Structure 1
Amino acid sequence: MNERDYITNLVERYPKLKLCAEDIFSAYETIKSAYLQKHKLLIAGNGGSAADAEHISGELMKSFKLKRPLPKSLVEKLIQIHPEKGAYLSKTLEMPLTAIPLLGNDALNTAYINDVGGPGFFAQQLLGLGNVGDVFLGISTSGNSEDVLYAAVLAKAMDMKVIALTGDNGGKIKQLADVAVCVPETETFMIQELHLPVYHCLCLMLEKYFFD
């Protein structure tokens, strides 16, 4: 399969997504371009979308469907440093595509909320972890989540690309996004039900390109 075949397969299984098929492909090209230049993906969302952010990271940071062996040069260094543990690592580690959900630093997030207040905690993490050329993926079923919007504004100011994964009308984040994937549903849980196959498709295409 080539990258377009994954989109075709996605639309066959979820015909509603034909409306945003080209946006899905554009999101893939945006993330692929960043990875080719040794940049990374940073992801934020609330509630179920927070779980989606971690799900995406899990699919990208290790093998999804394809094997991702370590490069020979790294294997040789590992074994040179410690033959036993290096051999174990060389057989068990899998090459990642760097994807960071802006969720896990409870100390930072609670300190920000306590000391500063307001919905800027995703932006604070993004400021510390993001760089020019990275991609920010903001997931919001309404497109209007304030903490995601603040992070998107900062991402633009930092010369990062912004991808929005949202619902039917796109909400406010659509205007900030370089690419907006607006799945054609308006009910929150139905939007989330379509988000999963969309980001699985993105992960499959990225893995195919870098590891096939």
Structure 2
Amino acid sequence: MQEHIRQLFSENIQTMIAAGESLSGPLENAAFVIVNNLVSGGKVICVGEGATSALASHFCQLLLDQFETERPCLPALALCNQNNSLQHSHQQDYLARQIKALGQSQDVLLVVSSSGSEPSLIKAVEAALTNDMKIIALTVDGSGELSGLLNQQDVELKVPAHRRARIFECYTFLLHTLCELIDMTLFPQQGDL
């Protein structure tokens, strides 16, 4: 069993190294997109589906509250993809309906996808594009339709992993890194740790 534990740590480390090599540029771009939109009066709207919804909410909370240092609250909103009062026919476009109502062109949609093919997230991205919002998408290798919707102004953080556990570990690290980069850019004296 201990050998298996060591293999899990090794697999995590290898995934993180591969992600660090492929995502340092896109991470920097994502941070600049968010910072520029916040400075322009926009907000970050965060969405996910299922377990990735918890990651989206976590990122939102870190922006609203603080990451590692005290700083002013940053405008962020995590959208809920569950509402029992909706009829079944609207369940897949519930996130999209919220984005159509709340999203504006100076906002950023941060979408966390575990497969790139979740219908509710695809519809959410389509709604964001209709509202001229920029998109930051956390996706995986082989992501389907969601990746194909992104424009040049958007940023895709594509994790080089296939095991669900490694993907979620990497997503958490990417979101924390984004928070740190945002804080360092907006509040440089507080971001220097």
Q: Structure 1 residue 208 and structure 2 residue 184: aligned?
A: yes
Q: Which runs of 4+ in 1 moved over 2 A?
A: 11-14, 109-112, 115-118
Deviation at 1:115? Answer: 6.2
Distance in 2, Cα, partners of 1:182 & 1:115: 32
Aligned to 1:76: none
Which structure has more RCO (C-alpha within 8 Å, separation ≥ 6)?
Answer: 1
Larger Rg: 1
Q: What is the RMSD of the two structures over their aligned residues, measured on CA atoms? A: 2.0
Structure 1: runs of 5 or more not aligned:
1-10, 69-94
Aligned to 2:75: 98
Structure 2: runs of 5 or more not aligned:
1-12
Structure 2 length as normaliser, TM-score? 0.82
Distance in 1, Cα, partners of 2:177 & 2:149: 23
Q: CA deviation digits over 1:87-106, x for unaligned, max 9?
A: xxxxxxxx2111111118x6
Aligned to 1:111: 85
2:109 is paired with a residue of what secondary structure? strand
Asked if structure 1 preserves the Cα contact closer than 8 Å seen for 2:140 and 2:158, the reply is yes
Q: CA deviation digits over 1:34-73, x for unaligned, max 9?
A: 01101001011112201101110111111211222xxxxx
2:33 is paired with a residue of what secondary structure? helix
Aligned to 2:175: 199
Asked if structure 2 preserves the Cα contact closer than 8 Å seen for 1:62 and 1:96, the reply is yes
Aligned to 2:145: 172
**How many residues were matched structurally?**
172
Q: For residues 115 and 143 of structure 1, do their structure 2 counterparts lie closer, same or farther at Cα, with a shift above 3 Å needed?
A: closer
Aligned to 1:15: 17
1:103 is paired with a residue of what secondary structure? coil
Asked if structure 2 preserves the Cα contact closer than 8 Å seen for 1:132 and 1:158, the reply is yes
Q: For residues 203 and 115 of structure 1, do their structure 2 counterparts lie closer, same or farther at Cα, with a shift above 3 Å needed?
A: same
Structure 1 length as normaliser, TM-score? 0.75
Asked if structure 2 preserves the Cα contact closer than 8 Å seen for 1:170 and 1:180, the reply is no
Aligned to 2:9: none
Aligned to 1:153: 126
1:132 is paired with a residue of what secondary structure? coil
